[in-house]
Amino acid sequence: MPKPRAILVGLLTQQRDPADLDASLDELARLCDTLGLQPVGRLIQRRQGTGAAYVLGEGKLKELAAWTGGTGVVHRGPQKTQADEEEEEDELNAFPTTERRADTVVVDHELSPSQLRNLKSACGVEVLDRTGVIIEIFSQRARSREARLQVELARLQYLAPRLRELGGPSERQQGGIGAKGSGESSLELDRRKIRDRMAEIRKEQALLESTSGVRRNRRTDLRQVALVGYTNAGKSSLLRVLTGAEPYVADQLFATLDTTVRRLSPEVTPPVLVTDTVGFIQDLPHSLVASFRSTLDAALEASLILQVVDASDPTWRRQEAVTAEVLADIDAAEIPRILLFNKCDRLEPGQEEALRAERPEAWTTAAHDPQRVVELHDRIAAWFSDHDPIEELIVPWARAAMMGKVRAQATVLEEHFEDEGVRYRLRAPQTVLDRLRAEVG
């Protein structure tokens, strides 16, 4: 079955560079492909801003209608007047279309409800904005109960103000049960159902977060590194090769929506947990950032953030900036962070050296190169070793059972047998050292 065809619409404003718009439309095309739409063309117009009621000018609306088989005319009322019908016929005769070349219009920014209505009126086909596309992809990809609830909440928040414009039920009044006269309109009833469902979701999320909080508390003493970055940068592939886990891996946008936590393998002492997180993207809807706050909290709990960047993508600088902005939004900007260029095996000769010259503090790797994965494993372990404090601890002979626990939870640098017990020189996270000291007494 052929994919529905989509025409992409972009606005070149005074604040936007043409190269940035091209990159954004390329990304939008990939989003459409991920959603199951086939991009067949692009329409770009230079505008002062993105707030115009009809989004496009009169001429561009006609050009867009040629793609969709629409009229190119925005009807300004609920019913067509005789003048509207005559104007529509004149427009079709002046700018005829014999074939619908696109079944969907996808706009590269978020549309207001009125803009959505006006474009649908002019085009006669389904209209999606960038936010709507991303939310639909999230809806398809969410697997865990927590992720499904987070996506549903974001989707309802997006849908609520657009009910009237999305072709919902009529505005007729419906009688209330046990009451005389008119009741709620269909639109009011739908809005109330959405509000009630959002309240149910938030209650269920609170229960799930309490369970997740117990799991997180058990991990507070462990060293944690979070893989964050742009969608499709290779975070899940890195998690797989660093830990032996089997997360869902695909060359697609937003292949991962659930947080996965696994131990670094081969294991080091003390253990290091590696966390995979949901990918970021330019103009990630605020509702999704808020809904996925509990998922993104994995970055807040980490001792180290590895900001993964696809080194083979020419727009990596923009992707790096987008990730930094989202980390700042979730208050993770102060956590130690290292830029990690992934997919370096795809670079042309000399490109990796250029990256290292531009970002000398960054690490480089390739998830499909076993030798480079080993090097990355060792660098992660070494980073924690360099940043963990070193302290001495005496385990009395009467607490000899603690010796195995010390070796399991800390790196033993020196060990001396003395009259009062065993004197250790240990390297471990401060929380681990404090707990061991309290248990020794």
The distance of Cα 261 from the centroid of its chain, to the nearest Å, equals: 17
Is residue 30 pLDDT above 60, yes or no? yes
Is residue 278 pLDDT above 60, yes or no? yes
Q: Which CATH architecture has domain 221-386?
A: 3-Layer(aba) Sandwich (3.40)
Domain 5-137 class in CATH:
alpha beta
Instruction: Quote the pLDDT of residue 217.
Output: 53
In this predicted model, what pLDDT tens digit does every residue of 174-199 receive, in sequence order?
444 444 444 557 778 888 899 999 99
Residue 404: name the closest of 395, 392, 413 by CA.
395
Instruction: Quote the pLDDT of residue 269.
Output: 79
Mean pLDDT of 407-427: 92
In this predicted model, what pLDDT tens digit does every residue of 301-341 receive, in sequence order?
888 999 999 999 998 998 899 888 888 887 888 889 999 99
Per-domain residue ranges of the chain? 5-137, 143-169+183-213, 221-386, 389-440
Instruction: Quote the pLDDT of residue 178.
Output: 46
Instruction: Quote the pLDDT of residue 129.
Output: 93
Let me know: does 71 contact 96? Beta carbons within 8 Å. no
**In what order do the strands lie in the sheet containing 260-263?**
260-263, 272-276, 223-229, 304-310, 337-342, 363-364
In this predicted model, what pLDDT tens digit does every residue of 375-392 receive, in sequence order?
999 999 999 988 889 999
Structure tokens at 229: 């970055």
CATH topology match: 5-137 vs 221-386: yes
Alpha-carbon distance of 92 to 65, in angstroms, equals 9
Instruction: Quote the pLDDT of residue 344.
Output: 96
Mean pLDDT of 71-82: 64
Give the range with max mean pLDDT: 227-236, 238-247, 365-374. 365-374
Q: Calculate what percentage of the chain has a pLDDT beyond 70.
A: 81
What is the overall mean pLDDT for the chain?
83
Inter-CA distances, 165 with 62, 116, 118, 295, Å: 21, 7, 9, 32
In this predicted model, what pLDDT tens digit does every residue of 112-146 receive, in sequence order?
989 999 999 899 999 999 989 988 888 887 777 87
